[in-house]
Structure 1
Amino acid sequence: MQIRTFQLSDYRSVSELLKVALSEECCEETMSALSRQLSWDSELVLVALKNDELAGIMIGTIDHSKGYVYRVAVHPDLRRQGVGRSLVTAMNARFRQRNVLKVFVAADKHNEMLLPFYQSLSDEMLDLVTPQRPLSIVAG
């Protein structure tokens, strides 16, 4: 599996992946957040490739020296194969390069079904946080 920074040529594949991996509402919100994050800091948008096919995507952001996992999406056919864990590990490495030592996952309504996944990653430095206001992608 290869993890790398999002490239413009990934856009169509990412859009298709998000449509099959997320609810319609979550997909729309994620596409909007993806566009904003790409305009501010594309290094925090990672894709996972398996056999040269898009397997997953993770969008992160940094706000006041805190790292946030905004969204992770893995193709339904490739779940439980380490794609999500690999994306989290790679994102944490990016955060550490930028001196971000605390990483949070917003426990929003779209991430609720992923709580067991995030909780299983306690060794990956993730903390769950329920934001007082919706987490939006912000300029780092």
Structure 2
Amino acid sequence: MHVRSFQLSDYRPVTQLLETVLSEECYELTMEAFARQLSWDSELVLVAVEEDEIIGMIIGTIDNNRGYYYRIAVHPDYQRQGVGKKLIQSLRGRFEQRNVAKILITADEHNEPILSLYESLGYATTDFFRSFQKLSIVAG
């Protein structure tokens, strides 16, 4: 397995992965964030590939010199095999290359079940960013 930056040809397999792994509500929110992040900085969207098949992905973003892990998804057949950890570590490397001041984990209701994964990698509850606003809503 290797981790690399998202490429345009990955769009269909990534959206299929997200449909498989995420609830309908989480999928809708994630697709909005995914599209925004691709338009801002696609280097912070990573995919895990095994034998030319996308088995996982992670979306990150940088805002005000802080790196955020937004959403991670790993195909059910590959869960609990280190794919998520590899994605998190790879994105952390991207954040470190850009000298972000702090790395935070978006801790919304959809990420709650996997916060222990981040804790196993050394993140503390103080690193969890809980926002009760939908960042995708634009006032107008």
TM-score normalised according to structure 1 size: 0.90
**Which secondary structure does the structure 2 equivalent of 1:14 belong to?**
helix
What is the 5 A alignment of 1:1-140?
A: 1-122=1-122, 127-135=127-135
Identical aligned pairs, as a percentage? 56
| Structure 2, unaligned runs of 5 or more | none
| Structure 1, unaligned runs of 5 or more | none
**Which secondary structure does the structure 2 equivalent of 1:72 belong to?**
strand
Report the number of matched residues: 135
Moved over 6 A (4+): none
Q: Which has the higher contact order (CA 8 A, sep 6+)?
A: 1
Q: Distance in 1 between matches of 2:110 and 2:10?
A: 23
Cα RMSD of the aligned pairs, angstroms, is: 1.7
Q: Distance in 2 between matches of 1:21 and 1:74?
A: 7
- Provide Cα deviations, 1:14-70, integer angstroms capped at 9, x if missing partner: 010001111011111111111110001000000000122111000000000000001
Q: Distance in 2 between matches of 1:37 and 1:98?
A: 16
> Does the C-alpha gap of structure 1 residues 101 and 50 become closer, same or farther in structure 2, counting only changes over 3 Å?
farther
Contact 1:106 1:135 in 2 (8 A): no
Amino acid at match of 1:11: Y
Q: Distance in 1 between matches of 2:85 and 2:101?
A: 18
**Which secondary structure does the structure 2 equivalent of 1:122 belong to?**
coil
**Which secondary structure does the structure 2 equivalent of 1:27 belong to?**
helix
